[in-house]
Structure 1
Amino acid sequence: MDKLRIAVCDDEIVQQKLIQALLQKYLTENNILAEVKFYTSGQEYLKEKKSEILETDIFLLDIFMPEMNGIDIGKELKNLGVQGKIIFITGGNDYITEAFEIKAFSYIQKPVEYEKFVKVMNSVIAGFEKHRYMDVVVDREKQRIYLDDVEYVETLGRRLVIYMKDGEVETYLSVKNFMDEYGEDDFIQISRYVAVSKSRIQRIVGRSLYLINGRELSISEKYLATTKKLHIAYIHTKKVATV
């Protein structure tokens, strides 16, 4: 797993030290590398660069803070388009409804016991392992792309076009490098220049591959047998998993 980025917002120094101790123990026991930053208010954190905020994996937010509470911070983060997981820490039940309205990952009540903390963190980590991502440079800025959102990738000249369900981005990377680093388990290379997400393939007819969205892609003769074999294996695996 890549290094995690964790942001903690809490106005109480004692609580910050407790969260720091819990995180240090958990990360050490599970051999996880992480960069952890602490903030005493939402205003302080939201002054960070947008790219820094968007690259954060886990947000641990105290709900009861002056001026801007944890719920307000969570709403701002969602408006920015963060994909990281929001975990609220609070001493009451006042904002449970609001927490789940903004699709917070979890809600931990104080006093935060290590056993409770471990359960939540284990769930978060399991989710990251399932929903992997890649950090690419787009227009000179880092952008995080979650592989579950990628339909297929295609090399055009020196650029790699990443096609997603809600748009596309371009970066400098070859299909081979993409497959070596990110795509071996979840993607099928159907030509020298194109690799397709296994989960997005609807059917294969001859040398034509059809995505779930209806788009047709052409399979190179060299890759045809392997593509069909991997597609059939994926379908069988999926059927077994849903039994």
Structure 2
Amino acid sequence: MYSLAICDDEKSSAAQAAELLEKYRKAHEGLEIRADVFYSSLDLLGAMEKQIYDIYLLDIYIDKINGIELAEAIRNKNEDAQIIFMTSSNAFYKEAFRIHAVHYLEKPILEEEFFDAMDRVCTQEEEAKFLTFRESGEVHRVQLDDILYIESQDHYKRIVLSDDCFLIRSTLQPLIDELDRPYFYVLGTKSIINLKRVLKITKDYVAMEDGKEFSVPRGTYRALSELVLKYTF
């Protein structure tokens, strides 16, 4: 069962989100979601003293504490919280990106977009997939989602995780074949990046969560930036 909190100081908007959620539940038999609705950020913060939610649907323009500040408070209590923003403005894309929001829904919220956002947070429990390889005589098995990027170093490939890295002797193609997730992107001829672990992208470079920067190949910025938005929101 998923526990979900809706927080919006406009009762009509909160009601719309609750209605869309009910439609989503009816369209997904067997999926259990328990939802609470809050009309102020302080009420939600108070409830969080006793209840930690799995999913948060947050308006950005809320009373005394805006949605970005509220999301930061949520992150401090629960790093694994799935946060979806609801707003009438796109002015906070960068802040939402920094907080690793699952989606950024612009009001009036379309049913298709709402369903897409919920699909992302309600399919997190799918079977994890792993990359298995040998380094210095030892066999390692790491979850694909934990990989930030892979880069070539002569005849070797460096597999980088947020808290570890491995250097293996391999060509790039076998690794590409093993990374059977659409959010792995082959950048140029020497690197593979996890689009879900991108921190920032400009026309010149893409920065990963560990600070590593890769040059953006000429002519690929538009398509690459759209993919980054797709897999980070």
TM-score where L is the length of structure 2: 0.55
3-state SS of 1:121 partner: helix
Alignment pair present for 1:28 and 2:26 = yes
3-state SS of 1:46 partner: helix
- 1:128 Cα shift? 3.3
Q: Which amino acid aligns with 1:81?
A: N
Q: What fraction of aligned residue pairs are identical, expressed as a percent?
A: 27
3-state SS of 1:19 partner: helix
> What residue is the counterpart of 1:97 in the other structure?
94
Following the alignment from structure 2 to structure 1, what is the Cα–Cα distance between the partners of residues 127 and 141?
21
CA change 1:38–1:239 in 2 (3 A) is same
TM superposition outliers: structure 1 runs of 4+ over 6 Å:
198-201
Following the alignment from structure 1 to structure 2, what is the Cα–Cα distance between the partners of residues 66 and 44?
11
> What residue is the counterpart of 1:45 in the other structure?
44
> What residue is the counterpart of 1:61 in the other structure?
58
Q: Following superposition of structure 1 onto structure 2, how do residues 73-112 of structure 1 map, counting pairs within 5 Å?
A: 73-112=70-109
> What residue is the counterpart of 2:118 in the other structure?
121
- 1:4 Cα shift? 0.9
3-state SS of 1:18 partner: helix
Following the alignment from structure 2 to structure 1, what is the Cα–Cα distance between the partners of residues 133 and 179?
18
- 1:201 Cα shift? 8.4
CA change 1:99–1:240 in 2 (3 A) is closer
Deviations 1:127-175 (A, max 9, x none): 33256xxxxxxxxxxxxxxxxxxxxxxxxxxxxxxxxxxxxxxxxxxxx
CA contact (8 A) 2:131 2:179 kept: no
- 1:85 Cα shift? 0.7
Higher helix share: 1
Q: Which amino acid aligns with 2:87?
A: T
CA change 1:63–1:130 in 2 (3 A) is farther
Q: Following superposition of structure 1 onto structure 2, how do residues 141-180 of structure 1 map, counting pairs within 5 Å?
A: none
CA change 1:49–1:106 in 2 (3 A) is closer
Deviations 1:50-97 (A, max 9, x none): 4622xx211100001110111010011111233121000000012111
- 1:109 Cα shift? 0.2
**Pairs aligned (count):** 148
3-state SS of 1:6 partner: strand
> What residue is the counterpart of 1:12 in the other structure?
10
Following the alignment from structure 2 to structure 1, what is the Cα–Cα distance between the partners of residues 139 and 50?
35
Following the alignment from structure 1 to structure 2, what is the Cα–Cα distance between the partners of residues 202 and 42?
49
Over alpha carbons, which structure has the higher Rg?
1
RCO comparison, higher one (Cα < 8 Å, 6+)? 2
CA change 1:116–1:33 in 2 (3 A) is same
> What residue is the counterpart of 1:139 in the other structure?
none
3-state SS of 1:47 partner: helix
- 1:48 Cα shift? 2.2
